[in-house]
Structure 1
Amino acid sequence: MATYLKLIILFMCSISMCSSLKFASLDKTYDRGVKAYNQERWSECIVQFEESLHLYKLYKSIIVNCRLKCKSHNFEPTIKESMEDLHIFEMFFNMRDCLTKCQTQGFNDVHIYGNVSDSVIDNLQTKKPYEYLHICYFQMYALPKAASAAYTYYLANPHEETMKNNVEYYVEQPEVDAKEVIDLESEDYKVLYQLGLKAYQQKKWGETVANLEESLTGYLTWENTCRAECERQPEQEASPEFAITISNYMASLLICRQKCQDELKPQYESGVQYLSDVLNYLQISYYHLDRIQDAAKTVSSFLKLLPTDEDMLENKLIYESLVDKDSFVERSDIAYYLKRDQYEKKLLNFFLQGNDNTDKTNTNEII
C-alpha cells in the first residue's frame, strides 16, 4: 500500500504538481522580465511581468495581513511588574516575534521567498511593470491589453506626459474600445462607487444603497491596508538621541498614512470628502426607500464629518419631524475614522512645529 501511494505521488509530481513546491523569487521573476524586455523577447516579457505582479500581490497580502493581525493581538505582559515605560519594550518584542512567525509561515504556505529588494518593491509600488507590459503587449499585437496597461501606469504616474500620449494613441486605434480601457489595479471600492452612482442616476434606490454601503466599507478596509503598508519605512537621518530617531520614524509613518488619502485625488482631496459624499447619496436613497431611521443615522454621520454643512443641517430638521432624536446616532466606523484622522493631523502639526523651533534655534546659534 505504501509503495502504491509513493507511485501516485511520483506520478503527480511528473505532471508538474511538485514544481509548485519550489519557492518562487519575486526579485528573480522581475529581473527575468526586464531581461526579456531588453532582449525583445516579448512573450517572455509578458509572462514574467504578469507573474511578478501576481507574486507581489501574494507578498503584500502576507505582509499586510500579518501586520494587522499582530497589531490587533492583545499581548499579555510576561513581566507583571510595571516599572517606568518598560512594558512598551516588551510589547514591541512581542510584536517582532508575532510578525516573524506569521510572515515566515505565510511565505512557506504559498512557496515564495520573503526577501525582496527595496528597488523591486519600489518599482512594483509605482506600477513600473505596466510601463514594460504595455510595450510587450503592443509588440504582440494585443492592443486592448496594451491600452489598459498604459492607462494603469499613467494613473499611478500622472506627471508622465509620454504615457498620457500613449494612452491617447491606443484609444484612437480601431482595435481598442475606449470603454474597455481600465485600471488593471482599480480597488473594489472605486468600482462599487461607480456602480452606486449609476444606480442612483437611474433611481434604483435599493441597488444604490447596496453598492455605496459596500463602497464605504471597502474604502475603510482599503485605507487600513494602505496604512499597514506604511510600516515599511525608508532609512531616516540618524541621531545619537534615541528619542529623536524614534520621533523621526513615527513622523514618517504618520505622513505615509495620511498620504493614503491621496489615492482619492483628483476627485476628492481627502477621505472625509469622499465619505461625506457617499453618505449624502445614501441618506437620499434611504429616504426614497422610506428607511427614515437609517437616513437619520446617515445624516448624523455626515454632520460628524462636516458639522457646518447648511444643506445637511436643513435635511436634519426635516428628519427631526419624522423620527425621534434618538435616531440620530453616528456610525461608529465614521466617528472612529474622523477621530483618528484629526488626531494624526494634530500630532504631525506638533512634530513640524517642533522642527521649526529647532531650525530657528540652530539659525540663531549660527548667527
Structure 2
Amino acid sequence: MLSLLLLLLLLPARGCVEAPGLAKLPRLAPLQSPDLLYADGVRAYATGAWERAVALLREALRSRAEVGRARRDCGARCAAEPGTELPPVPSSDPGSDLSPGPWERLLLRAALRRAECVSQCAARRLGPRGAAGHRVVRALQNAFRRREPYNYLQRAYYKLKKLDLAVAAAHTFYVANPKHLQIREDLVKYHRMSGVRRQSFRDLEKPLHWVAYDEGLELLKRQEVAAALPLLEEALRESLAQMENCRAQCEGPEEQLTEEEEKEEEGEAQPDSQSGLYEAIAGHWIRVLQCRQRCPGAVATRPGQDSPISDFLPIQLWQLQKAHAQVGNLSQAMENALSILLFYPEDEAVKGTLNKYQKLLGEQRPDLSAREDIRHFVFQSLGEKKLLYYAMIHLGTSFKDPDPWTPDDLIPEGLRKKLREDQEKRPWDSKLPEPESLAKWRDSHFLDGVTLTQDAGQLNGSERAVLDGLLTPAECEILLQLAKDAAKTGDGYRSRRSPHTPHELFEGLTVLRAAQLARAGAVGRRGAKLLLEASERARNLTQAYFSPEWPLHLSFTHLVCRSAIDVGSSISMMTSRVGTCSLLSQMPSL
C-alpha cells in the first residue's frame, strides 16, 4: 500500500501542465528493479488503472536508465582507483617482479580490488544488492530495446486525456517500430485530432549524438557551416561517449547472460567455462570483447533501423574537416583528416586533401596530429581485435569483425581468405523477406484512400498484389484525357498495334514523351505532371509492400490504353516495369 502511495505521488496534480517530454521523477529509495516495475505497470494497464500504469512504467524506464548510468560511472571511477590498475604483461626473466608467479598475484589482487570497488559503488547507487539486484531477463531487455513501455504509455495517457504526452509517447515507440501497424494507425488518428500540435510528435528517447548530428546536417544543407560546426563536434563527442556507455554495459551480469544465450542459439563455439579457472576467465573475457566490438555498430544504427551506417566515425570526421576548412580553420581540418588516416592509412583522397591544406597553410606543422579521442578509440579497438583473432586461432572461438577498416596485417594469415570471402558475399545472395499477409495490410493506408484488395495467395502466384485507390476519379479522368490526346498506337510494343491478339488495339505514352509534348504545348502540363506523380505513388506502394528494406527503382513507366476492336470499349491501366532492386551506399567518397 505504501509503495502504491509513493508511486501515485509521482503523478502531476490534476490540471497542471507537464513540461515537454516526460517530466523527471523523484527517486524512490531504494531503487526498484526495472523488470518488476514494468511487469506491475503492464498489469495495471490491463486492469484500466491508467494513472498507476503511467507511474509504474515511467519509473521502470527511469530505473533502467539509472542502472546503466551506475554501471558506467562505477566502472570508470573504479578503473581509476589506486591499486585497481591491471599489471603490465609478465616478463620472461625469472628474477623480475613481473615473472609469471608474482604477475599472477598482482593480477588477482587488482581484479579483487576492482570488484570490491564496483560492488560497493553499485550498492551505494542502487541499493544493498547492487547491480545483481537489478538483473533483467532477456525478454524484458528486448522489450525495453523496442521501447514497448511507450506503447502502453501512449494508450494510458490517451485515456487520461493528456494528448500531448500520448502523442509524444506514440511517436517515440513508432521511431523504433516503424512497421508496427497499430501504432501507425494511432498516429494517423492523432494527426487528425484537433488540438494536437505538430511539436507533440517528438522522440523522447532519441540519442544525443543523433540529435546533434541531424541538426548539424540540416544546417550544412542550408550552407550555415559556422552554426553547424559546434553540433557536428558535439555529435562526434556524444558518439564516442555512447560507445563508452555501451562498453560499460558489456561488463554487466545481465548482458553477459544475453551474450551467452545468443552464442548458444547461433551454435558458435565457445570455451567451456566448466573446464577450469583460466578457461572460464578466457571465455568470460572473450564475450566482453565481442560485445565491445559491436558497440560502434550499435551507436551507428538509427532507432528503428536494422543495420548501422557503415564507417560512421570516418563519415563524421570527413564532414568535420570539410566544415572546418570552409570557415578557415585549416589546422582543425588537418587534425580531422589525419584522424581519418587512422582508419584508412592509404586513402588517396584524404592524402590529397591534406596536401592541399598544407599548401594553403604555407608552412610545415609537425605539431599537428590526429585527434586524441579518435586515436584512443582506434588503438583500443585494434588491441581488442588482436585478442579476439588470437582466440579464434587458439581457442576455437568465433568473431565476425564488424569494421571494414581493420588492417589486413592484423588478421592471422590463416583467417584472411575466409574472412575476405565472407565480406565479398553479395547482398542479393540472401533471401528477400516475404511480403506481409493481406490480414496485416488490409487496414494499412500508405496513401489516403489506398487499400490492398488482393494478395499473392488470392492471385495464385508470388510477388503479386492488387492495390486499389491509387488515383481519385478526377485524376483518372485527367489521365484518360492525356491518353486520348497523346497516346501513340503500338507505343511500347515495337509499334505493333495488336501485340497479343488481333481483337485488341494497344496505345501507349511514356513519361518522357508526355513531358516533351507538354513543353511544346501539345498537351496540358497538368496531365504530364500527374503521370509522373502517379508513377512515383506506384513505386512507393510497391516498395512498401514487397521490399521495405531495399530501395526500389523504376526503369520504365508506361500509360497504356487497350481497346477491343470488335466492341470498341476502352480500358485504361498504367503499368510500371520495375528494374533490378539495389542497395544504396550511405558512405560518401572520402
Normalized against structure 2, the TM-score is what?
A: 0.51
Per the alignment, in what secondary structure is the counterpart of residue 379 of structure 2?
helix
Q: Give 1:289's match in structure 2, choosing from 294, 318, 327.
A: 327
| Pair 181,39 (structure 1): closer, same or farther in 2 beyond 3 Å | same
Question: Residue 300 of structure 1 aligns with which residue?
Answer: 338
Measure the CA separation in 1 of the matches of 2:215 and 2:150. 26
Q: 1:157/1:352 Cα in 2 relative to 1: closer, same or farther (>3 Å)?
A: farther
2:422 match: none
User: Does the 8 Å contact 1:189/1:219 carry over to 2?
Assistant: yes
Q: Does 1:94 align with 2:113?
A: yes
CA-CA distance at 1:345 after TM superposition: 2.8
Within 1, Cα distance between the matches of 2:387 and 2:198? 45
| Bigger mean CA deviation after superposition, 37-46 or 266-275 | 266-275
Map 1:131-142 onto structure 2 (within 5 A).
Answer: 131-142=151-162
* Candidates 340, 349, 352, aligned match of 1:311: 349
Report deviation, 1:167: 6.5
| Runs of 5+ consecutive residues of structure 2 not aligned to the other structure | 1-8, 10-25, 86-95, 261-271, 399-590
**Match of 1:337, as an amino acid?**
F
What does 1:29-40 correspond to in 2, within 5 Å?
29-40=37-48
The 1:136/1:227 distance shift into structure 2, 3 A limit, reads: same
3-state DSSP class of the match of 1:321? helix
Q: 1:340 corresponds to which residue?
A: 380
Q: Is contact 1:148–1:181 with CA below 8 Å preserved after alignment? A: yes
200-209 vs 167-176, which moves further: 167-176
- Return the alpha-carbon distance in structure 1 between the equivalents of residues 396 and 28 of structure 2: 55
Within a 5 Å distance, the mapping from 1:261-272 to structure 2 comes to 261-265=297-301
Q: CA deviation at 1:303?
A: 2.1
Q: 1:88 to 1:157 in 2, by over 3 A?
A: farther
Q: For residue 91 of structure 1, what is the amino acid of its counterpart?
A: A
| Counterpart residue type for residue 301 of structure 2 | K
TM-fit CA distance, 1:270: 6.2
1:72 to 66, 77, 80: 80
Counterpart residue number, 2:244: 224
Indicate if the aligned counterparts of 1:23 and 1:113 stay in contact, CA closer than 8 A. no
Taking the aligned partners of 1:248 and 1:76, their CA distance within structure 2 comes to 22
Distance 1:234 1:327 in 2: 47
Distance 2:341 2:182 in 1: 41
Q: Deviations over 1:191-213 (max 9, x none)?
A: 11112112222222322221111
Question: Quick one: distance in 1 between partners of 2:308 and 2:338?
Answer: 19
Match of 1:246?
Answer: 281
Contact 2:154 2:170 (8 Å CA) reproduced? yes
What is the CA deviation profile of residues 215-246 of structure 1, one whole-angstrom value per residue up to 9, with x for unaligned ones?
A: 11111112101110111121856422222222
Residues in 2 aligned to 1:104 and 1:328: alpha-carbon distance in whole angstroms: 45
CA distance 1:231–1:104, change in 2 (3 Å):
same
2:192 to 165, 173, 185: 173
Q: What percentage of aligned pairs have identical amino acids? A: 22
Equivalent residue, structure 2, for 1:255: 290
Q: 2: distance between equivalents of 1:65 and 1:97? A: 15
Contact 1:205-1:285 at 8 Å conserved across structures: yes
Structure ranking higher in strand proportion = 2
Partners in 1 of 2:213 and 2:288 — Cα distance? 28
2:215 matched to 1:207?
no
Q: In structure 2, what is the equivalent of residue 329 of structure 1?
A: 369
Question: CA distance change for structure 1 residues 99 and 319 in 2, over 3 Å: closer, same or farther?
Answer: same
Note if 1:104 corresponds to 2:140: no
The 8 Å contact of residues 391 and 397 in structure 2, kept in 1 or not, is answered as: no
How many residue pairs get matched?
337
| Alignment equivalent of 1:25, drawn from 25, 32, 44 | 32
Which residue matches 2:257?
234
Return the alpha-carbon distance in structure 1 between the equivalents of residues 279 and 174 of structure 2. Answer: 38
- Letter of the aligned partner of 2:123 in structure 1? T
Q: Structure 2 vs 1, CA of residues 317 and 148 (structure 1 numbering), >3 Å: closer, same or farther? A: same
Mapped to 1, the partners of 2:299 and 2:50 lie a distance apart of: 32
Per the TM alignment, residue 69 of structure 1 is displaced from its structure 2 partner at its CA by 0.9
Q: C-alpha separation between the residues in 1 aligned to 2:317 and 2:104?
A: 42
- What is the letter of the counterpart of residue 239 of structure 2? Y
Q: CA deviation at 1:132?
A: 2.1
Select the structure of larger CA radius of gyration.
2
Distance 2:311 2:350 in 1: 14
Q: Deviations over 1:48-85 (max 9, x none)?
A: 111221232223222221011112323179xx965241
Conserved in 2, the CA contact under 8 Å of 1:150 and 1:166?
no
In structure 2, how many angstroms separate the alpha carbons of the residues matched to 1:57 and 1:227?
15
- Of the two structures, which has the highest relative contact order with CA contacts closer than 8 Å and spacing of 6 or more? 1
Gaps of 5+ in 1: 1-15, 359-367
2:577 paired residue number: none
Q: Distance in 2 between matches of 1:274 and 1:106?
A: 34
Give, in angstroms, the shift of residue 263 of structure 1.
Answer: 3.1
Distance 1:167 1:255 in 2: 39
Q: Which residue of 1 aligns with 2:59?
A: 51
Equivalent residue for 1:8? none
Task: Say if 2:62 is the partner of 1:42.
Answer: no
Residue 33 of structure 1: CA displacement? 0.9
The corresponding residue for 2:452 is none
2: CA distance, partners of 1:20 / 1:219: 28
Distance 1:270 1:20, change over 3 A: closer
Change (3 A) 1:334 1:81: closer
| CA deviation after TM superposition for structure 1 residue 87, in Å | 0.8
Instruction: Name the SS for the 2:294 alignment partner.
Output: helix
Structure (1/2) with the larger helix percentage: 1
The worse-fitting range, judged by mean Cα deviation, of 137-146 and 239-248 is 137-146
The CA deviation string for residues 81-126 of structure 1, in whole angstroms up to 9 with x for no partner, is 65241111101110111112212222369xx997224239624455
Structure 2 CA distance for aligned equivalents of residues 172 and 319 of structure 1: 50
Distance 1:208 1:268 in 2: 28
**Residue 141 and residue 114 in structure 1: after superposition, are their counterparts in 2 closer, same or farther (change >3 A)?**
farther
